[in-house]
């Protein structure tokens, strides 16, 4: 008796059939092309690495979410990658350590995790992104944000919006203008994340209350942030945010939530989240960080475009030319060279229309079926 569960896929994994795969492939190619046109060279890291390497190149990388197993050759623990950014950091710190800076790299590949997010059941996703390594400036951040917006737009996203944040803002203020005891910093961060004014007062963070209201559309939120008396500690951040926003211009809707930390485990002074109209949830994140081991500054972004592709729907197939038995292979080769997609008959009984063909080769010319 056939086991009805034999071909079930694990929770969080799925097949993409031809039309869906075609849509994802086109979007992936559009993103990579956008990054390539701005001088970002693609790297292709391995699917599996030593767990220790993945864990030490970036703060906030949780190896407990990775599939791990023992390498029979080295007897060391290997891990299936859950984030390509870490691998790009390793490449920059090792194989490309002597390359001129700033170094611009991009990537595309599958990543997997043991557990999924509550809002997203997928445990395997296509990750695309770019990293600008060797610069910690607002100019670098502006280039990266603008590129992320352009890449998403090329993939088909409409009305992209970008939410800016300042991940280390509490640490900066706690050490200067708004002092906090070390044992209160985490509590203040937590209540700011929860947007709970009462709880923020209860943990001794009353001075941080104005930050809760410095959120919303970019210009208004930035004005509220600038009005906070922080003894000049915010001046450079505000100037940097203005410079980044100017680089993006009107290509995206900009908002600001200076205390948002979810998803910014290893970012330093600047972070951003990407959204698009008609797509549920986030499509990507990015920001500034330091590469573990070398502490070299970098700025980058990661895109997860599966939800965008799902929202856009399946991609129609290109016209396909049926090549009947006995066709001239040189004519078929010439037609493929100018863009035709062809399907060669295997027998006289093949049905061109049933096989998805839109045209048939008659002599040396394609004719509509």
How confident is the model over 126-153, as pLDDT tens digits? 999 999 999 999 999 999 999 999 999 9
Distance in angstroms (rounded) separating the CA atoms of residues 327 and 353: 18
Hey, what's the torsion of the CAs at 66, 68, 71, 77, to 10 degrees? 80
pLDDT at residue 205, as a whole number: 87
Could you tell me if 365 and 345 are in contact, meaning their C-beta atoms sit under 8 angstroms apart? no
What pLDDT is recorded for position 60?
56
pLDDT, tens digit, 9 for 90 and up, residues 100-119: 999 999 999 999 999 877 66
Q: What is the mean pLDDT of residues 262-291?
A: 92
Residue owning tokens 């870490």:
86
Question: Whose structure tokens read 């016209």?
Answer: 319
With a cut of 60, say whether residue 1 has pLDDT above it. Answer: no
User: Please, which pLDDT band fits residue 177 given cuts at 50, 70 and 90?
Assistant: confident
- DSSP one-letter code for 4: T
Stretch 33-50: mean pLDDT, rounded? Answer: 97
- In angstroms, rounded to a whole number, what is the distance separating the alpha carbons of residues 221 and 256? 6
Contact 21/85 with Cβ under 8 angstroms?
Answer: no
Mean pLDDT of 247-253: 96
* Per-residue model confidence as pLDDT tens digits over 329-366: 999 999 999 999 999 999 999 999 999 999 999 999 99
Average pLDDT over residues 170-194: 88
């Amino acid at each position: 008796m056939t086991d009805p569960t034999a071909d079930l896929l694990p929770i969080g994994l799925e097949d993409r059939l031809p039309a869906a795969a075609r849509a994802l492939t086109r979007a992936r190619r559009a993103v990579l092309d956008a990054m390539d046109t701005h001088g970002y060279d693609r790297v292709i890291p391995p699917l599996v690495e030593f767990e220790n390497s993945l864990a030490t190149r970036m703060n906030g990388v949780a190896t407990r979410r990775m599939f791990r197993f023992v390498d029979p050759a080295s007897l060391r623990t290997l891990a299936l990658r859950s984030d390509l950014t870490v691998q790009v950091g390793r490449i920059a710190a090792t194989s490309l350590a002597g390359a001129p800076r700033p170094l611009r790299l991009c990537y595309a590949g599958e990543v997997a995790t043991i557990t999924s997010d509550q809002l997203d059941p997928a445990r395997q996703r296509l990750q695309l992104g770019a990293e600008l390594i060797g610069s910690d400036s607002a100019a670098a951040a502006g280039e990266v944000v603008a590129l992320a917006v352009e890449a998403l737009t090329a993939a088909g996203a409409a009305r992209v919006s970008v939410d800016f944040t300042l991940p280390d803002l509490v640490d900066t203020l706690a050490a200067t203008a708004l002092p906090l005891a070390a044992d209160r910093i985490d509590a203040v961060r937590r209540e700011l994340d929860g947007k709970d004014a009462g709880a923020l007062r209860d943990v001794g963070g009353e001075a941080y209350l104005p930050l809760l209201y410095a959120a919303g559309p970019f210009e208004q939120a930035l004005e509220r942030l600038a009005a906070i008396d922080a003894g000049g500690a915010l001046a450079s951040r505000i100037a940097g945010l203005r410079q980044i926003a100017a680089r993006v211009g009107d290509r995206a809707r900009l908002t600001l939530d200076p205390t948002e930390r979810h998803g910014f485990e290893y970012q330093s002074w600047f972070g951003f989240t990407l959204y698009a109209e008609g797509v549920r949830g986030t499509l990507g994140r990015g920001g500034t960080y330091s590469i573990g081991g070398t502490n070299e500054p970098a700025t980058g972004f990661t895109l997860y475009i599966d939800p965008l592709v799902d929202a856009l729907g399946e991609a129609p197939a290109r016209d396909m030319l049926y090549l009947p038995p006995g066709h001239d292979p040189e004519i078929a080769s010439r037609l493929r060279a100018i863009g035709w997609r062809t399907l060669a008959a295997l027998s006289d009984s093949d049905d061109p229309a049933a096989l998805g063909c839109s045209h048939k080769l008659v002599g040396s010319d394609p004719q509509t079926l």
